[in-house]
Copies of this chain bind each other. A is one copy, B any other.
Amino acid sequence: MTKDTNDAVDVAAWEGDAGSTRHRILDAALDVFSREGYHATRMDDIVQRSGASKGAIYFHFPNKEKLFLGLVDQFADLLERRVKAAIKQEDAGMVRVRIAVTTCLETFSKYRRPAKILLVQAAGIGKAFEDKRNATNERFAKLIALYLDEAVALGEIPPCDVDVISSAWMGAIYALVIRWVTTNEPAPERIVNALVPALLMSVGYTAQGKPHDRPHRRAARE
């Protein structure tokens, strides 16, 4: 797990046309935005980094804001796709909850720079960005809430304020990913090992029939 952090070809993973000018721009933007933040990034930085020209950038993207939000959206989509794909393989109930959380963490750790853009750089920039971030946030919280509701319905966990809990979970996940992304510190493996059980326990899920390292079936990746 998490052997490679895609540090070279991040955007390529979810955009087809590698090598094209458009792609080079996106890659450069991702790189610079994630390092410097939105405001500290000058379009000329992206020009230099991408090797394209100012004109090329404004030919492909209407403005700086759209370019940035595009990156955020793309990554959020990817994340959602991966979570849903992973879920589909499993039966309803707490197993799904566990898989959703794990997939989230795996994806963040694999796509480190996009994660930083989504979680760190998209905050505190302005109204439009704040809204976008909250929306994205809620989007995943809702996903978690859905699976939690399922688990409650199945009687696997006692009823709880699913709305609040799912927000809290996202917050917990985000906080650790942010910390890892910026300080490199709690290794992803350690995060998963400590966090996932804690989250499950927080809703009163006692690890029934979980023989420590049960090989849960896992099919097609991505």
Which residues of A does B touch, CB under 8 Å?
36-40, 120-127, 130, 134, 137, 160-161, 163-165, 167-176, 178-179, 182-183, 186, 190-191, 193-195, 198-199, 201-204
Question: Contact at A190–B161, with CB atoms within 8 Å?
Answer: yes
> 17 A-B Cβ contacts within 8 A?
A37-B124, A40-B126, A120-B124, A137-B179, A163-B186, A164-B194, A167-B172, A168-B173, A168-B176, A168-B194, A170-B175, A171-B171, A171-B172, A171-B176, A172-B175, A175-B175, A199-B202
Tell me how many chains of this kind the complex includes: 2
- List the B residue with the shortest CB-CB distance to A125: B124
Question: Contact at B186–A168, with CB atoms within 8 Å?
Answer: no
A173 surroundings in chain B (CB, below 8 A): 168, 171
Secondary structure class of chain A's binding surface, majority of residues: helix
A104 CB to nearest chain B CB (Å): 13
A164 CB to nearest chain B CB (Å): 4
Bound CA span A201–B193, Å:
17
User: A170-B175, A175-B171, A202-B202 known; A126 and B37 CB under 8 Å?
Assistant: yes
Question: Contact at A134–B183, with CB atoms within 8 Å?
Answer: yes
